Amino acid sequence: MTRAASILRKTAIVVALALWTLVFGEIFLRVAAPQALMPRYVTGTPYGIRGNVPGAVYRHDTPDVNVEYRINRQGMRDDRVFAEAKPAGTCRIAMLGDSYFVGYELDLRDTIARRIEEGLRARGYRVEVLNFAVSGFGTAENLIAYRKAARRFRPDLVLMQWQVTDYDDNVRSGLFALKDGALVQINDRFLPGVATQDRLMKSALYRLLADHSHLYNFAREAIGWRAKQLLAFVRKRQAGPAGGAEVEQNSYMISPAQVRLAAALLAEAKAEVERDGARMMVVDIPNRTPERVFSSSYDLMPAELKRALPPVSALALFRAAMKRGEGPLFYPHGARHLTPEGAALLSGETIRRIEASGALAGCHGRAGQTVQAGLATIPRTGV
Amino acid sequence: MLFFTWPFAAFFAVFYPVYLISRRSVLSRNLVFIVASYFFYGWWNVHFLALLAFTTSLDYLTALGAAGRLLDRRQLAKSCGFLLLVSGIGFALNGLRQPELLLLPPFAACVLFALATSLLNRVEATQKRARLWLQLSIVVNLAVLAFFKYVNFFGESLDQAFSALGVHLGFVALNIVLPLGISFHTFQSIGRTVDTYRGKLEPSTGFIEFAAFLSYFPQILAGPIERAGHMLPQFRTIPPITWALIRSGAMLFLWGLAKKIVVADNLAAMANPIFAHPDRFTSGELTVALLAFTFQIYCDFSGYTDMARGLAKIMGFDLRLNFNLPYFARTPSEFWRRWHISLSEWLRDYLYISLGGNRGSKLMMYRNLMLTMLLGGLWHGAAWTFVMWGFLHGAVQVVYRILGIDDRLKRVDDGSVRGLLANVGAWAVFMPIVCVTWAYFRAETMAQANQMLAGIARLESMASGAWSSLAFYVVPLFLIECGLRFAPLRGAYIRAPFVVRYTGVVALLFAVMVLTSPTGQDFIYFDF
């Protein structure tokens, strides 16, 4: 055998083994550890942060659920398109958050946004809920999304999601920092991996892998998770001293500096929303670990912020439901988001708090009339 | 520094090339071992570097003395020099803080060594002198072990016992950190001194090789408890390293890793919540939890051992087999020949035989068995649950001896159907007994173990529980372990086409990557 033929043969063997490894890996995962197939249809927005791909239709297939997502042309998870001008007599709620508010692993009818809207309408409110949530967002991106996307729809109430990952997300994005105690925007762009993702999404093969390959989804989640952790670690160090001992919550190490940044972002968001004549509420997603216990990462916030922005917390309801042995409130597999039962509890508590606050009192009428009126204002133009 | 963490991967990536270069001479290789092993041990806590050096220095001297030799100043200087050097490094790494803990005791130890050498060298009768050195080794080593491991246990137990009589001792539990692996390296060290005393081993005057042996990082934290007769010769030569050895070591490491982070940790996630609240679960769930722990502890400990043996192989060293399909045992004596073999043999050779072993009356033999198992239980941890575990194993051994089960099985084990049925029957009787003993081993309290077993005995809703999850981990474990241990299966794998063997390795790698438990656990035996 000539030298060239030998090299060719060895190369062919290596390539064949590599291919076999991938094929075997796919088979192994499908048999032994089916993965949650959760492709992320996010892209860059003109205002420098991520947004849902307008008009995207995709599915998430996990061991627990198979859910279809339809993103409207405004980048919201909704089957409607909203006019910028608010319909007369109708109140608007803008929802800002991450995958929990997007409604990952939930059918559209089960999402928190849709439940709040329907719940309030059933109670006689003329209301529209506009969902600006994007998977992976922290408070910093929520604030920018409010400024650049939600504000022009003139919401009467802003519901901003809070959960433990926000402490890391706010540092990782590097959009804001505290300088001499004041919140300063230090960057206007945070588009992690978006350029690569946009390029890849043009390939039909990539979309096929993203939508259907267990091996690809496993690798993406594993690499993405480590990359996120590394970026958070680096940015935390760059942000300066932690300012005290770190606290562990849900396997996140949270420093006092992260708490101060998060509190400043929420306070700023509240101030801006109120300057626009609206109100803001924070909806706290309970920590799901340790299993069956539940806790709140919002507890770490300074007392003055908790007084100014008391969170909508369903912690007591979650604990009571667990005690009663009611079904799981978070899915056990996949990305372990809220189940319809969990979303129902959180939505119910949010509705209760909205009613108690009187924030939408001006849009309250008799139930039958208002629901009809409310529906009439929504142009059903599809996505 | 756990074997399956990134810090260890980085450590080994730096260590191994240096180790390969250092193999030009035995001395440089052993020095590299000592530096690496103390770094490995100190990564956990620099405070205890001096303790390891103390055991090394003490037993270097006592082994020489126990062999009947007169110690000279050079040997004393080696011991004290090493102890003070390591203590000084520990003190420096601790930011020059706590000299009363990190410097004073080593100085005091050196004074003790000098005093002991001076006094015992004056004893003219060789046998008497050797015995005194042996006693010094045993007393000091066990005192150190007792201080770190048992002070609180015995103090609290005495306090409770006297409280029942109306006498309050006012014992206050000390805040003592248990040094990792202390039970393992203390036993290893004592074993060497006893061997030299018994004339089974010629003590070496080479301090470096002994220090390298005692601190050898693959096995310092959880064994196997090596015999000096098996390991020390390896520290006196440069064993060859071949690709076959590296491949086989890497495979052993990978299999150990899979047993630990895939099987043991996932089974722990099934067992832990049920052991924490046995009153909340059905008999079926409790049974699954007990079985899950039964396999968890096997995979946790044998996984560690396999990783240690694999690493040693990659270095050209041979660590002894510590587990040999223990859950295939049909009788208690067979179980102890297969489970934690290095400890069982240690207890047999240094405790059971020292107590009289099989010599003397049957009653004495049973007493020796019970005492050995009770102390073996206590070795695992300072708690009455471990004492109970040891007691049960001792009691079962005594009953089996009285009934002569082993002899009966030997007589019928002729390859016939009758023999097969007898073996299966014996296994089916003995395995549940093993599982019951694990309930005490795992439980936090005696009451918890009793509650667990009482719950199982109710035999209600036996179908409930995560039986399929248990089978998901245990069945492949069973098949692979059989394949590894039984020569025909192993041979068939070795002779299989390359693509089959390659796929086997890839499957194991995917299992490690994909099935790793999200809730990692420390090695159970690190607590001992």
Say whether pLDDT at B100 is over 70.
Answer: yes
pLDDT band at A369 (very low <50, low <70, confident <90, very high): very low
Residue type, A301: M
Chain centroid to Cα B480, Å, comes to 23
Say whether pLDDT at B516 is over 80.
Answer: yes
Give the best residue of B506, B509, B512 to mutate against chain A (max A CB count within 10 A): B506
**Contact status of A31 with chain B (Cβ, < 8 Å):** no
Q: Which run of H or of E encompasses B29?
A: helix B26-44
Q: Could you say which of B499, B507, B515 has the minimum Cβ distance to residue A33?
A: B515
Q: What is the mean pLDDT of residues A376-382?
A: 38
pLDDT band at A290 (very low <50, low <70, confident <90, very high): low
Which positions in chain B touch A20 (Cβ < 8 Å)? 499, 502-503
pLDDT for residue B44: 84
Say whether pLDDT at A380 is over 50.
Answer: no
Q: Which run of H or of E encompasses A6?
A: helix A3-32
Listed residue (B145, B119, B309, B297) closest to B230, CA to CA = B309
pLDDT for residue B291: 96
**Contact status of A22 with chain B (Cβ, < 8 Å):** no
* Tokens representing residue B63 in the block: 């082994």
Tell me the C-alpha distance between B137 and B65, whole Å.
10
Q: What does the angle CA A354 – CA A327 – CA A132 come to, to the nearest 5 degrees?
A: 40
Per residue in B208-218, pLDDT (tens digit) is 999 999 999 99
Say whether pLDDT at A374 is over 60.
Answer: no
Inter-axis angle of helices B126-164 and B104-121, nearest 10? 130
* Residue contact B506–A24, C-beta within 8 A: yes
pLDDT for residue B528: 62
Contact B524, B297 (CB under 8 A): yes
Q: What is the mean pLDDT of residues B410-428?
A: 89
**Contact status of A33 with chain B (Cβ, < 8 Å):** yes
Per residue in B287-317, pLDDT (tens digit) is 999 999 999 999 999 999 999 999 999 999 9
Say whether pLDDT at A232 is over 90.
Answer: no
What residues have CB less than 8 Å from B418, skipping those under 6 apart?
Answer: B412
Tell me the C-alpha distance between A382 and A377, whole Å.
14
Q: What is the mean pLDDT of residues A233-239?
A: 77
Name the residue of chain A whose CA is nearest to B476's CA. Answer: A32
* Residue contact A24–B499, C-beta within 8 A: no
pLDDT for residue A366: 52
* Residue contact B506–A25, C-beta within 8 A: yes
Q: What is the mean pLDDT of residues B55-62?
A: 93
Name the residue of chain B whose CA is nearest to A34's CA. Answer: B514
pTM: 0.79
Name the residue of chain A whose CA is nearest to B469's CA. Answer: A32
Say whether pLDDT at A22 is over 90.
Answer: yes
CA dihedral B198, B199, B204, B209 (to 10 degrees): -60
Lowest mean pLDDT among A72-76, A94-98, A281-285, B485-489: B485-489
Tell me the C-alpha distance between B312 and B6, whole Å.
19
Tell me the C-alpha distance between A6 and A281, whole Å.
69
Q: What is the mean pLDDT of residues A18-32?
A: 95
For chain B, give the mean pLDDT: 90
Q: Could you say which of A20, A25, A291 has the minimum Cβ distance to residue B510?
A: A25
Which positions in chain B touch A34 (Cβ < 8 Å)? none
DSSP B203: P
Residue B163: count of CB within 10 angstroms of its CB: 13
Q: What HEC string does B231-297 produce?
A: HHHHHCCCCCCCHHHHHHHHHHHHHHHHHHHHHHHHHHHHHHHHHHCHHHCCHHHHHHHHHHHHHHH
* Tokens representing residue A370 in the block: 């208002």
Name the residue of chain A whose CA is nearest to B473's CA. Answer: A32
Tell me the C-alpha distance between B354 and B346, whole Å.
11
Listed residue (B229, B297, B288, B290) closest to B260, CA to CA = B297
pLDDT for residue A128: 96
Residue A2: count of CB within 10 angstroms of its CB: 7
Q: Could you say which of A28, A33, A222 has the minimum Cβ distance to residue B507?
A: A28
Q: What is the mean pLDDT of residues B228-236?
A: 92
Q: Could you say which of A21, A24, A218 has the minimum Cβ distance to residue B514?
A: A218
Per residue in A119-158, pLDDT (tens digit) is 999 999 999 999 999 999 999 999 999 999 999 999 999 9
Name the residue of chain B whose CA is nearest to A217's CA. Answer: B514
Which positions in chain B touch A25 (Cβ < 8 Å)? 506, 510
pLDDT band at B152 (very low <50, low <70, confident <90, very high): confident
pLDDT for residue B158: 76
Considering the candidates B185, B340, B380, B393, report the single residue annotated as catalytic. Answer: B380
Say whether pLDDT at B35 is over 60.
Answer: yes
**Contact status of A184 with chain B (Cβ, < 8 Å):** no
* Tokens representing residue A317 in the block: 């309801």
For chain A, give the mean pLDDT: 89
- Higher pLDDT: A5 or B464? It is A5
Q: How far is A50 from chain B (nearest CA, A)?
A: 29
Helices (H) and strands (E) in chain B, counts: 24, 0
**Contact status of A318 with chain B (Cβ, < 8 Å):** no
* Residue contact A24–B503, C-beta within 8 A: yes
**Contact status of A363 with chain B (Cβ, < 8 Å):** no
**Contact status of A150 with chain B (Cβ, < 8 Å):** no
* Residue contact A24–B513, C-beta within 8 A: no
Share of chain B above pLDDT 90, in %: 66
Which residues of chain B are at the A interface, by a Cβ-Cβ cutoff of 8 Å?
A: 273, 499, 502-503, 506-507, 510-511, 513-515
Per residue in B321-380, pLDDT (tens digit) is 999 999 999 999 999 999 999 999 999 999 999 999 888 888 999 999 999 999 999 888
Say whether pLDDT at B502 is over 80.
Answer: yes
Which positions in chain B touch A218 (Cβ < 8 Å)? 513-514
pLDDT band at A283 (very low <50, low <70, confident <90, very high): very high
Per residue in B169-192, pLDDT (tens digit) is 666 666 667 777 888 889 998 999
Contact A170, A139 (CB under 8 A): yes
Q: Rounded to a whole number, what is the largest CA-CA distance in chain B?
A: 75
**Contact status of A83 with chain B (Cβ, < 8 Å):** no
Q: What is the mean pLDDT of residues A72-92?
A: 94
* Tokens representing residue B96 in the block: 């020059």
Share of chain A above pLDDT 70, in %: 92
pLDDT band at A81 (very low <50, low <70, confident <90, very high): very high
* Residue contact B503–A33, C-beta within 8 A: no
Per residue in A167-180, pLDDT (tens digit) is 999 999 999 999 98
What are the angstrom distances between the C-alpha of A267 and each of A168, A353, B59?
18, 19, 65
**Contact status of A47 with chain B (Cβ, < 8 Å):** no
Give the best residue of A28, A214, A330 to mutate against chain B (max B CB count within 10 A): A28
Q: How far is B165 from chain A (nearest CA, A)?
A: 41
Known catalytic residue: B230?
no
Tell me the C-alpha distance between A179 and A185, whole Å.
10
Q: What HEC string does B495-526 produce?
A: HCCHHHHHHHHHHHHHHHHHCCCCCCCCCHHH
pLDDT band at A327 (very low <50, low <70, confident <90, very high): confident
Listed residue (B134, B11, B9, B106) closest to B50, CA to CA = B106
Q: Could you say which of A21, A24, A33 has the minimum Cβ distance to residue B514?
A: A33
pLDDT for residue A1: 67
Per residue in B431-463, pLDDT (tens digit) is 999 999 999 999 999 999 999 999 999 988 888
Say whether pLDDT at A250 is over 60.
Answer: yes
What residues have CB less than 8 Å from A263, skipping those under 6 apart?
Answer: A301, A302, A305
**Contact status of A20 with chain B (Cβ, < 8 Å):** yes
Say whether pLDDT at A275 is over 70.
Answer: yes
Name the residue of chain A whose CA is nearest to B517's CA. Answer: A33
Q: What is the mean pLDDT of residues B53-71?
A: 92
- Exposure string over B210-238, b if 16+ CB within 10 A, otherwise e: bbbbbbbbbbbbbbbbbbbeebbebbeee
Strands A127-131, A57-61: parallel, antiparallel or unpaired by DSSP? unpaired
* Residue contact A33–B506, C-beta within 8 A: no
